[in-house]
Amino acid sequence: MTTSSNLVWLIALPLICSALLLLAGKRANAWGHLVATLVSASAFAIGVVELFAMLGRDVQDRPVTQKVFTWISVGDFKVDASLLLDQLSICFVLLITGVGTLIHIYSIAYMSHDRDRRRFFAYLNLFIAAMLLLVLGDSYLNLYVGWEGVGLASYLLIGFWNEKPAYATAAKKAFIANRVGDVGLSLAIMIAFATFGDVTFKGIQAQADQASSSAMTAIGLMLLLAAVGKSAQFPLQAWLGDAMAGPTPVSALIHAATMVTAGVYLITRSNFIFDAAPTAQLVVIIIGVITLLFGAVIGMAKDDIKKALAASTMSQIGYMILATGLGPIGYAFAIMHLLTHGFFKASMFLGAGSVMHGMKDEVNMRKYGGIGKYMPFTFITFGLGYLAIIGVPPFSGFYSKDKIIETAFNAGGLKGVLLGVATLFGATLTAFYMTRVVIMTFFGNERWGHKDEPHESPALMLIPISLLSIGSVASGFLLYRNHALEYWLKPIVNPAGEQHLEELVQPIVVSALAVTAVIIGVSIAIKKYRGEISSEAPVKVNLLTKAARRDLYQDDFNESVFMRPGQSVVKSLLNFDYKVLDGLVRLVGGISIGAGQSLRKFQNGYVRSYALMMVVGVLALLITVWLMSS
Amino acid sequence: MSLLTTIGLMPLIAALIIGFLPKLNDELIKRVAFISTTLIAIASIFLATGFDRSQTGFQFTQSNSWISAFNINYAVGIDGISLVLILLSTILVPIVILATWHESDVGRWGSKVFYILILVLETLMIGVFAATDLFLFYVFFEAMLIPVYFLIGGYGSGEKSAAAVKFLLYSLFGGLLMLASIIGIYVIADNQIGATFDITQLAKLQIDDTTENLLFLGFFIAFAIKAPLVPFHTWLPDAAKSATPGTSVLLLGVLDKVGTYGMIRFCITLFPDASKTFTPYIITLAVISILYGAFMAIGQKEIKGLIAFTSISHFGFITMGIFAMTTQGMSGAALYMVNHGFSTAALFLIAGWMIKRRNSSIISDFGGLQRVTPVMAWMFFIAGMSSLALPGLSSFVSEFLVLVGTYTRYPVAAIIGTLGIVLAALYVLIPVQKTLHGPITPGNENTTDLSLREKLAIAPVVAVIIAMGFYPKPVLDLINPTAEKVVTTAGFTDPAPQVRK
């Protein structure tokens, strides 16, 4: 296998920069953001260089590795800090550093008035480093470091304005939900080690055919748990909406384009495990379908623009997760949707940020309305992202979502029909909630209730948005054309070259159905929202809207099933510890804490008697020994 | 005289020198204490460089007859595990002295006695890890209590006297049980191979099952009190709350490790069969400790009590790793002892600074410190991340080794133990949010950030926490051969992977 000495710099540069900005303190305030942006751009440049180098090699020589140092080695448990850049990880490297750099540039302007801008850029660089490690690690344990690293960066960035208690709580909630997922990743690694004596992707893949199916199912399900936590899938999805507390560029980069899609990467990377574990695959499919509908339903009722977009992210990742469950053929389509989604969702989040910038940080769409004419550039770019996400041909989302719907139908039998219908239904819901967002924000009556007109954002913010817009327009076609991405990823995710089981439904029929689904969704939304929109959310709404506004009671569920019982466990243990365990000790020892003066005399007696006991003990020992030996 | 003995005597000599210094010259006393302990730390690093990693036996050995009537010897020597624990002890002492420069100013007997106690304690800590004669170990083990008792009772705060007594009572109970076992094993040795306290010799004895089980329990309970496992733990939170932060660092960071060290050195090595018999119960106890400590930590309102309970959870991990009887579990546990030493030191020292500034140790009295004292807040955050075993920091490596090493033999225990990582996130992030985030609570507006002295004290601790997360190899290389030897001599081999290559 080819080796490269460049890979470590991809991670080291942003990591060092992050540490530098944090350690330098105020001294770096003037230039910190510029250096961080430059570093991110350099990482992108390295990625591009590596891409061209990879294109220049034969298929079997494309992956490159680099061993950096021996990390842990105990008995058979040997883990090197080693990196692997192959056809799959290069997609992510370019997405992370490319979108990442654009978001750095955007943030220079967006965060220009924040007193902690330097710290913000330090966290962004930390995130880039951790996310690159996540996709470049050659073993599950290396991946784990990146996996929790992005969790840390996410925690720091969600809580960037943690003076507000609600934001600090949101950050904590995200970390804890992710940790639940991390239990899955930890256990997957343990089971893998017990099964294969190895935790590298290569080592496990080589022996995958010899493992028992129960071991594979167990590993698969644990990896899925990890993916569910990181990618905000049902039932660990509750943190993503709250994560919108972070600055909007963070929502775009971490909570839309890259980090939350890490679960899709994990499953795709572990294709050799899931392909050998049909049960786990089925659960993957179920989780994907539930989440894609769950997120869409929530998205239909949210008035907070960022939360509506977050619900949409949850739902779109549901599509991706579903596609990974339909492997081996589905993996490439999951990644295709991941990449196109990276463009259009990041573009729309930055667009939302631009709207907020012009609207005094207002996020409630009921206080928007008619903004299109004040912010034409933001409107157009957001509109392109909108056309892409709902899947209007020839925009990017059309191609990537279409392939997932097609693969779902072709899963065969009743399963195929059910999945196909679910994905189509999801497409209708997507069209509905996104049309709703666009109408409420850019069209209709102006509801912001203050005199200052919204203003367009500065060029530094608009340039990154427009570049992302180009991606949301063109990326789908480019990746789809001549099966470009499918063939590119084939050696990694589908080496056997498996095709659709049966072409149950012709692609052209699927496309027609998908477009019809979109038209239905858009029409309903237009019909419902074309009139005057109230600036206050209506109170008398149906049960489903009520539920969707409360995120389908996900927080209520977690609170009553985990939090409150957990709190009462803590409370009863505190009681048990003090009254029973310690009570017994106090009883036997005759100590009464807080008894005051009389105690002091008492304990001095104890010390003496203790010393006496020790002396007696030693003497007893010596005498016994002496008696025995004489 | 071996280098080991020399290093062990150095603190005692420093204590003597301080004894001759004028009582009122606090600053001079502190400087002498700091400089001498720094030199001792350097000397012990020098000792480590001379350690031959390819050998698994004791090195730097020395044996002199002490009480010849009973064949009791001053016998010392170190293997990989005792070496890293000595390094931990000698490196932490100067850091503690520098970090808590004014801790002794308000104590009952002044600085002079305080530093003499610390230095005497350092000699005893080195001795307890270096002793290869069981009787000598017992003497060090018991003698350690005395300076700690006076450090808590004389320099602590709050219910210090009651806490010190409780600490003594527990230790008394454990010590007596161990003493009984020591007498027992000596008698058996006397009958079989002649009178000896040499632990290498004692390991060769043939002991019948019932006797071995009883002797094992005597040792184990003493150690389970020292590195407290539930239900032997209730002394620790009280001691930690009352002791000065520096004493707490030495108590939880080093002295408690004598318990887990003793499990490896004595319980498993001297009584391999009994260890096998009791393993399932001990693993259960360890898992209970992991969860119990974590839940209790979540419920703490007081910051030092919180750190104490997190430690009980961590001792559960260490014990689980030890009795999993795999090389990963054993090495992971030994590494865990070192890592826990440093991360607990960081937590206690920073908590101590916070408490001193605020004059309160109640978590809810703090808030918004990230804005007021950014450096202190960052240090507390990193220490917290280390406590929840964030990958990239030192504790992750040891915790994962313990879990993976346990999983291969006791999967159910490992699975339940893994749930502890969610609880760890809770017990760290809840106090982090309450102390560092949110609006600045009244009374915290003018809190001063870390001084240069404090920064210099905490910097090496944080550096070790980060460096050992990425590159634990130097320490693992010291530990591995010894850990493997302990596992194999106890009659265990690592479970083979299900798929054979």
**Can you spell out the DSSP letters for A28-94?**
GTTTHHHHHHHHHHHHHHHHHHHHHHHHTS-GGG--EEEEEEEEEEETTEEEEEEEEE-HHHHHHHH
Question: What's the pLDDT score for residue A439?
Answer: 92
pLDDT of residue A59: 87
Segment holding A2, helix H or strand E: strand A2-3
Q: Which residues of A touch B70 (CB under 8 A)?
A: 622, 625-626, 629
Report yes or no: B176 at the A interface, CB cutoff 8 Å: yes
* A534: nearest Cα among A356, A364, A405: A364
Q: Which of residues 57-86 of A touch B (CB under 8 A)?
A: 69-77, 81
Residue A150, min C-alpha distance to chain B (Å) = 11
Q: Decide if A194 touches B, using CB distance below 8 A.
A: yes
Question: Is the CB of A75 less than 8 angstroms away from the CB of B326?
Answer: yes
Q: Sorting pLDDT into bands at 50, 70 and 90, what band is A18?
A: very high
pLDDT in tens, B206-221: 888 889 999 999 999 9
Neighbour tally for B27: CB within 10 Å: 9
pLDDT, position A591: 54
Residue A436: is its pLDDT beyond 90?
A: yes
The band of A609, judged by pLDDT with boundaries at 50, 70 and 90, is: low
Tell me which chain A residues have a C-beta less than 8 angstroms from the C-beta of B67. Answer: 622
What is the pLDDT, as a whole number, of residue A597? 40
Q: What is the mean pLDDT of chain A?
A: 88
Q: Which of A74, A196, A570 sits opposite B327 (nearest CB)?
A: A74
Closest-CA residue of A relative to B176 is A617
Picking from A15, A74, A195 by the largest number of B CB atoms within 10 A of its own CB, the best residue to mutate is: A74
- Both tokens of B226, joined, read 């020292």
B412 at the A interface (CB within 8 A)?
A: no
Residue B59 burial class via C-beta count within 10 angstroms: exposed 0-12, middle 13-18, buried 19 and up:
buried
Share of chain A above pLDDT 70, in %: 92
A361 touches chain B (CB under 8 A): no
> Are A283 and A224 contacting, i.e. CB atoms less than 8 angstroms apart?
yes
In angstroms, the CA A307 to CA A301 distance is 10
**What is the pLDDT at residue A614?**
65
Q: Which residues of A touch B467 (CB under 8 A)?
A: none
Q: Predicted confidence band at A629 (pLDDT cuts at 50, 70, 90)? A: low
Cross-strand pairs, B78: B59
| Touching A: B residues 184-243, CB under 8 Å | 186-187, 190, 195, 230-231, 233-235, 238
Test B392 with A149 for CB contact under 8 angstroms: yes
Task: Dump pLDDT digits (tens) for A82-97.
Answer: 999 999 999 999 999 9
- ipTM for the predicted complex: 0.93
Q: Is it the case that residue A57 has pLDDT exceeding 70? A: yes
pLDDT range class, residue A596, cuts 50, 70, 90: very low
Cβ-nearest to B437 among A141, A168, A613: A168
- Shortest distance between the Cα of A613 and any Cα of chain B, in A, equals 8
Q: Which B-chain residues 448-467 have CB contacts (< 8 A) with chain A?
A: none
A66 min Cα distance to partner chain B (Å):
16
Sign of CA dihedral B237, B239, B243, B248: negative
Quote the pLDDT of residue A598. Answer: 42
The distance from CA A273 to its chain's CA centroid, rounded to whole angstroms, is 21
Chain A CB contacts of B439 below 8 Å = 163, 165
Residues 6+ apart with CB under 8 A from A532: A444, A445
CA distance B490 to B494: 12
Stronger pLDDT, A611 or B283, i.e. the higher one: B283
- Specify the pairing of strand A64-74 against strand A77-85: antiparallel
Q: CB distance from A623 to chain B under 8 Å?
A: no
- Residues of chain B contacting residue A591, judged by C-beta atoms under 8 Å apart: 162, 165-166, 169
Q: Are A250 and A122 in contact (CB under 8 A)?
A: no
Q: CB–CB of B499 and A593 under 8 A?
A: no
Q: Determine contact, residues B443/B15, Cβ cutoff 8 Å.
A: no
Chain A CB contacts of B495 under 8 Å are 194
| Residue A595 banded pLDDT, cuts 50, 70, 90 | very low
pLDDT at A525: 92
B123 Cβ contact partners less than 8 Å away, ≥ 6 residues apart:
B8, B9, B10, B11, B12, B15
Omega within 30 of 0 (cis) for the link into B431:
no
Residue linked to tokens 């949707």: A337
Q: Which two tokens stand for residue B101?
A: 């420069």
Q: Are A276 and A346 in contact (CB under 8 A)?
A: no
Residues of B in contact with A625 (CB under 8 A): 70, 183, 186-187, 190, 195
Give the Cα separation of B229 and B232 in Å (integer). 6
For residue A594, pLDDT over 60 is answered with: no
On whether the CB atoms of residues B399 and B328 are closer than 8 A, the answer is no
> Which pLDDT tens digit goes with each residue over B229-266?
988 898 899 889 888 899 999 999 999 999 999 999 99
Name the band, by pLDDT with cuts 50, 70 and 90, for residue A587. Answer: confident
pTM of model > 0.80: yes
Contact assessment for residue A280 and residue A333, using Cβ atoms and an 8 Å cutoff: no
pLDDT digits (tens, 9 = 90+) for A343-367: 999 999 999 999 998 888 888 888 8
Q: Answer whether A311's CB lies under 8 Å from A357's CB.
A: no
Report pLDDT digits (tens) over B72-86. Answer: 999 999 999 999 999
From chain B, pick out residues whose CB is under 8 angstroms from the CB of A570: 295-296, 298-299
Report yes or no: B484 at the A interface, CB cutoff 8 Å. yes
Domain ranges of chain A: 286-542, 550-590, 600-630
Q: Would the pLDDT of A604 be above 80? A: no
User: Which of left, alpha, beta for B375 (phi over 0: left; psi -120 to 50: alpha)?
Assistant: alpha
